[in-house]
Structure 1
């Protein structure tokens, strides 16, 4: 709304109040016994509609396929869970920084996209963890960097608001203090383009992302042996939405038992995804 329309709106409100006062009208009191208006329940358990928020540049978990359609391991899992529970599924590519606001507004009702649960337990209700993950450092294969100690004076990039950024600002802050700089970027595909071009010296990312990028260009990159941290992926829901979290966990267990999860994972084996780290059994 422009400043002009705000002023006009305010003037109209004042005139309306004046007319009411002239007629002797008084505001209607709220009944003392009336219940306060409650927020609409937008959870999947209540609506039978799973609205999945995801980063569309996060292969192999969620990305745009060659056919222009959204694809990925997590998105296929979400579709399979929705089928199992007889729910509708809606995929929403989101700005990762806006995920909390979108969840709070009901625009999405879950985050399913290689979503690390550690450190976020106070902000979301999670399914059981379904995939073991780690935060790692990837460098150019020909750059002579062989260990974390070699990163001193180097430029390292990671995704903004990512688990890697949190680790480097927290438990691994002493390591990050040795870098020339720790930079952030919107998505990892661009980060690896910068690494390949020499614009940065290293990328801090999820193990799954590292495996994906290295499977595409096995001679270009090297992953350092030392992990920054180990953690788990889980499906995130609005805080308190235990009903949906429980239903999704139970569905994932059934899909593992009937072989569906393994079939989905096999589609992305050439992108570095493996069932070795699957957790829900």
Structure 2
């Protein structure tokens, strides 16, 4: 494995993080002057820095990053990170489970003010203001242990499923020319709303393979090590980051610095250890 610091520095140098300057609010216009539209209350910021509340949009069926725990409460690695960030900044925190394909509408409307749920930043840099990447991720393929599928070549004529609007889908659907050629050999590339059901279909034999995040594969293999195997090849390598509404640099900056402080005082390492059995590794933490 590459030295984490070297890997991160290389990644950050090429990531092309989105950064849009916030429009400042001026004073009230003098009598007879046209009102500056930037002072209209309707343009007030919806970010946590502006409102004092971090409203986290997440997929509640995305373990180990966000899911419903045995006690019926929302939990997960990313949700615990978000809650700690909010606590350290004296923000309220609101966890909002969302339909993944509605995330942009909810972010634009202010119903949520961040997407924090194993959110891949590559290919989305122009659509959001992102935090700095904090976790190394990749896209992989998981098959049944008894399937006889050992490589990408063996997926020819097979049914592969992935989550709608996921990084894996984007890679296979044309974002990466090489992987688009791979997808063209499939019998079909199916999509589904969440990965738990995708793996149920894999186990039942309804599909032949699941294309997903490395972290999701690790979680499923940890839960059922005899049922599945992960193919050695990667569809892509990328990073997780927190997505904010375009222009919310202020909140992104605060989150970056708070995550750094949480890493420095050991909170992140302890949280990774807590979720180690679910496939989370501190070796993949990359925000320094």
**Shorter-chain TM band:** 0.7 to 0.9
In the other structure, the counterpart of 1:13 is none
Write the mapping of 1:40-79 to structure 2, written as runs, cut at 5 A. Answer: 40-79=44-83
2-structure distance, mates of 1:128, 1:42 = 20
In the other structure, the counterpart of 1:227 is 234
Write the mapping of 1:21-32 to structure 2, written as runs, cut at 5 A. Answer: none
2-structure distance, mates of 1:69, 1:266 = 21
In the other structure, the counterpart of 2:164 is 160
In the other structure, the counterpart of 2:194 is 187
Q: Which 5+ residue runs of structure 2 have no aligned equivalent?
A: 1-31
Rg: which structure is higher? 1
In the other structure, the counterpart of 2:155 is 151
Residue 84 (structure 1) aligned with residue 91 (structure 2): no
1-structure distance, mates of 2:35, 2:231 = 62
Write the mapping of 1:1-281 to structure 2, written as runs, cut at 5 A. Answer: 33-36=34-37, 37=40, 38-170=42-174, 171=176, 172-281=179-288
Tell me the matched-pair count.
Answer: 251
State the secondary structure of the residue aligned to 2:111. Answer: coil
Kindly state the Cα deviation for residue 33 of structure 1 after the two structures are TM-superposed.
2.0
Q: Which 5+ residue runs of structure 1 have no aligned equivalent?
A: 1-30
Kindly state the Cα deviation for residue 235 of structure 1 after the two structures are TM-superposed.
0.3
Kindly state the Cα deviation for residue 41 of structure 1 after the two structures are TM-superposed.
1.2
2-structure distance, mates of 1:82, 1:35 = 32
- Give RMSD over aligned pairs: 0.9
State the secondary structure of the residue aligned to 2:120. Answer: coil
**Cα deviations by residue, 1:228-258 (Å, 9 ceiling, x for unpaired):** 0000000000001111001000000000000
State the secondary structure of the residue aligned to 1:251. Answer: helix
2-structure distance, mates of 1:148, 1:265 = 31
2-structure distance, mates of 1:273, 1:261 = 11
